[in-house]
């Protein structure tokens, strides 16, 4: 059996456009076997999965299975990602440890199950967006975990940021059920998640990647397939290691500018027009100057990612002194009660009142 997948390039699809399209979610066959062949029509805002075989070229619509998508973990990132899937027309079933976080999605049309196991059992593809490796393992493999509800023909896509060893552990247990596994950690924070502008760093089962691609395109602007399980996790840790170090250095620059009598607002503008321009500086800078840190990416998660990245570097004997120094700064910020603030609150660790 082979699959013909019709899809559009959804990388820049707005949430408004998605909301206007009630039949946007793909249809999946009962099993993931075969290699998808892609065809890209010019007709906008439509794609579907259809199963074909030489023996059944005239299969009726009842041979198709509307994609049932599970989503586990409805925090800062998971909630808007699941919302975009619902607004695109997907049949979404959700779960979260705190059930009240499911309520807004239920009001949008999502179904609810009381455990990851029941979500996975009722869905074709289940996504998981958890806060840390421990949570990712527990939700996937713990009592009433997703693995208990998986079997051949189902797929599990972990979009959490974890280390490679954790991803491989989860993958091994998922695959032992007969299901397919894909890791696809995201680059991007709250606003890109809301706007469907995330970047997915995927690795693992290639056929599941191809089948999940239209769903990833609803939630993101681009996606990369990086090969074996662990590669996506490693790439994400490298990206976040760089980001954490950049924010620490930017914090030093803002404070130094102010200390020598210059306007930090002008510094932000100067940087925005030069070779080191980055959206992060323009977005975070103005609020940092006002000592405001609305949470888009929690500081505790940035420190966790730096810790995991340093472990990755140690495993291959790669020196990372800048990231190590940045990690210590985030640890100081955490010790002063800033864990749940945005990671840009690391600037507070450099202010005299916290250094005494």
Task: Express each pLDDT in 211-222 by its tens digit.
Answer: 999 999 999 999
Q: Are 37 and 5 a contacting pair, CB within 8 Å? A: yes
Is 249 within 8 Å of 284 (Cβ atoms)? no
Give the residue ranges of the chain where pLDDT is below 50: 1-24, 29-65
Tell whether 241 and 208 lie within a shared domain. Answer: no
For the chain, give percent helix, strand, coil, nearest 5.
50, 15, 35
205 located within any domain: yes
Predicted pLDDT at 347: 98
Last residue of a domain, one of 206, 228, 250: 228
The CA-atom distances, in angstroms, between 38 and each of 7, 226, 262, 279 are 8, 19, 55, 33
**Token output for 102:** 């499911």
Say whether both 294 and 220 belong to one domain. Answer: no
Is there a single domain that holds both residue 216 and residue 272?
no
Whether 1 and 29 have beta carbons less than 8 Å apart is answered as yes
* Nearest-angstrom CA–CA distance, 112 and 106: 7
Residues 257 and 118 in one domain: no
How far out from the chain centre does Cα 226 lie?
A: 15
Separation of alpha carbons 63 and 31, rounded Å? 11
Integer Cα distance of 229 and 236 in angstroms: 13
Structural domain boundaries, residue 174? 68-228
Q: Which of 176, 193, 228 is the last residue of a domain?
A: 228
Same domain? 214 vs 83: yes
Beta bridge partners of 222: 199
CATH assignment at residue 196 = 3.40.50.720
Task: Indicate whether 103 belongs to any domain.
Answer: yes
CB 351 within 8 A of CB 255: yes
* Kind and range of the H or E run holding 252: helix 231-259
Whose tokens are 């499911």? That residue is: 102
Q: What is the pLDDT of residue 112?
A: 98
Q: Give the rounded percent of residues in the chain with a pLDDT score beyond 70.
A: 81
Which of 203, 228, 253 corresponds to the end of one domain?
228
Burial of 64 per CB tally in 10 Å (0-12, 13-18, 19+): middle
Domain shared by 162 and 276, yes or no:
no
User: What pLDDT was estimated at residue 352?
Assistant: 85
**Domain shared by 224 and 239, yes or no:** no
153 and 121 in a common domain = yes
- The catalytic residues are 236
Q: For residue 344, is it within any domain?
A: yes
Query: Is residue 62 a part of any domain in this protein?
Result: no
209 and 243 both lie in a single domain: no
Residue 16 to residue 21: CA distance in whole angstroms? 9
């Amino acid at each position: 059996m082979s699959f013909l997948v019709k899809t559009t390039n959804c990388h820049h699809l707005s949430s408004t456009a998605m909301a206007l399209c009630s039949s946007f979610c793909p249809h999946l066959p009962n099993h993931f076997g075969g290699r998808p062949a892609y065809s890209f029509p010019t007709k906008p805002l439509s794609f579907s999965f259809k199963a074909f075989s030489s023996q059944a070229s005239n299969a009726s619509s009842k041979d198709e299975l509307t994609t049932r998508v599970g989503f586990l973990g409805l925090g800062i990132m998971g909630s808007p990602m699941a919302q975009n899937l619902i607004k695109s027309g997907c049949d979404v079933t959700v779960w979260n440890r705190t059930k009240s976080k499911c309520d807004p999605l239920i009001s949008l049309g999502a179904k609810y199950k009381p455990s990851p196991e029941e979500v996975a059992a009722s869905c074709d593809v289940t996504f998981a967006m958890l806060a840390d490796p421990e949570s990712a393992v527990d939700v996937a493999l713990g009592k009433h975990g997703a693995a208990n509800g998986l079997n051949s023909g189902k797929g599990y896509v972990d979009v959490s940021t974890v280390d490679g060893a954790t991803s491989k552990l989860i993958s091994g247990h998922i695959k032992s059920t007969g299901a397919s596994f894909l890791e696809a950690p995201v680059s991007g924070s709250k606003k890109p998640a809301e706007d469907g502008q995330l970047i997915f760093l995927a690795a693992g089962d290639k056929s599941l990647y191809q089948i999940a691609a239209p769903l990833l395109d609803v939630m993101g602007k681009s996606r990369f397939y990086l090969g074996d399980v662990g590669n996506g996790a490693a790439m994400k840790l490298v990206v976040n290691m760089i980001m954490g170090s950049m924010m620490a250095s930017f914090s030093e620059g803002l404070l130094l500018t102010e200390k020598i009598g210059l306007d930090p607002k002008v510094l932000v503008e100067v940087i925005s027009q030069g070779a080191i321009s980055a959206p992060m500086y323009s977005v975070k800078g103005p609020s940092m100057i006002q000592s405001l840190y609305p949470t888009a990416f929690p500081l505790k998660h940035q420190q966790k990612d730096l810790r995991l990245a340093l472990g990755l570097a140690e495993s291959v004997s790669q020196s990372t002194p800048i990231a190590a120094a940045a990690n210590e700064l985030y640890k100081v910020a955490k010790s002063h009660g800033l864990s749940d603030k945005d990671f840009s609150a690391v600037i507070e660790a450099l202010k005299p009142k916290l250094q005494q």
